[in-house]
A = this chain, B = another copy of it.
């Protein structure tokens, strides 16, 4: 036994507390974990030592021993997209209520990055994972993840071949409803803009659009349909071409909020006689002139539900896998109910 003590470690451990309080390691553990079988005397001594030393339990050590991490992972396209940022916030809130923390990451639409992130999270032994699966995601890999113990919930897009809870918005029905609304207002030439075919929601929405047309006896015209990721598309040129065609559309259906923003930006400079309806609401849609009519989806509800389902699994629920479809709401604001030059000065 040497006299000189080593300099205090950056974070005190339970051993330090035990030494300080003059009790055994186990007693400290009991106090920290709120267990009984500790005399009030020792309980107080330990409590005081914890205070004095500023002790906080090292979660990693606990987790290593216990095998649970009180952490969930969230992987989606891009937190900066309003739909996903709302969803993220809802997941965070549920996690916080349950004393879990959330590892969050954007896959940037890149399946390789998505996989890397999921692996990173998996190696940290997250209790569960909420994933908005990117197009080309590796299914067998996800299945392995599921089997190795972390629960999985998919949001926004389903993944075929994996038995996991899924929370979706009923895109097809929403798009059908929206298109029908335009038809009801006299439109028969309706252009459709959506993400490319690899994106589940894009094809679902197109299917809904098509279903509405067919129900109304309007022939589906492929030249009115444009499927590309708007971020990189030459939106202005596309719009120009469509509107200059022989039999131009009288209405536009935008398949998501990214497209809506880009389309509105282009349309603002023109004076075409158009109606407009967008899938997914966005901030200021009500401040534009005319207000933008949308099929709204509740991103918070998706996040909350997904998190609830996940925690149900984490806590051992073995009920059959669920696939929830959330309904959309048509919000009329003017842009789809009138005609006239669009967003003109």
Contacts and interface: CB of A to CB of B under 8 A. Distances in A.
Interface stretch (A102-110, A163-171, A194-202, A245-253): A102-110
Given A80-B88, A284-B284, A289-B343, A120 B148 contact: no
A86 interface: yes
A104 B89 CA distance: 10
Interface string A314-345: 00000000000000000000000000000101
Interface string A265-306: 100100000000000001110111110000000000000000
A119 interface: yes
A148 B79 contact: no
A58 B123 contact: yes
Nearest to A264: B287
B122 A56 contact: yes
B104 A102 contact: yes
Interface string A128-147: 00000000000000001001
Nearest to A285: B284
Q: How many copies does the complex hold?
A: 2
Q: How large is the interface on A (under 10, 10 to 19, 20 to 34, 35 or more residues)?
A: 35 or more
A282 B326 CA distance: 28
A119 B99 CA distance: 11
A284 B286 contact: no
A82 interface: yes
Contact of A56 (B88, B119, B261): B119
Contacts of A148: 10-11, 54
Interface stretch (A34-42, A61-69, A203-211, A233-241): A61-69
5 contacts: A58-B125, A102-B104, A282-B284, A283-B284, A288-B289
